[in-house]
Amino acid sequence: MVEAKSRAEVDFIGFSGLEWRAWPYRPGTLSGMQSIDATGH
């Protein structure tokens, strides 16, 4: 799994789908990625 160097990267990686499985464990992305990944991305 890719290690994000910052919350900005976590957000980008999660959006790219490379780490969509790890986003729930990243409190910084919960609010932003929640609605995105919930759709099935």
The whole-number pLDDT of residue 26 equals: 56
Q: Which two tokens stand for residue 13?
A: 């990686």
pLDDT (tens digit, 9 = 90+) per residue, 4-40? 566 666 566 555 565 555 556 555 555 555 555 555 5
Instruction: Please state the pTM of the whole predicted model.
Output: 0.15
> Based on C-alpha coordinates, what's the Rg of the chain?
9
Per DSSP, the residues of 8-36 read: HHHHHHHHHTSSTTTGGG-HHHHHHHHHH
The whole-number pLDDT of residue 16 equals: 57
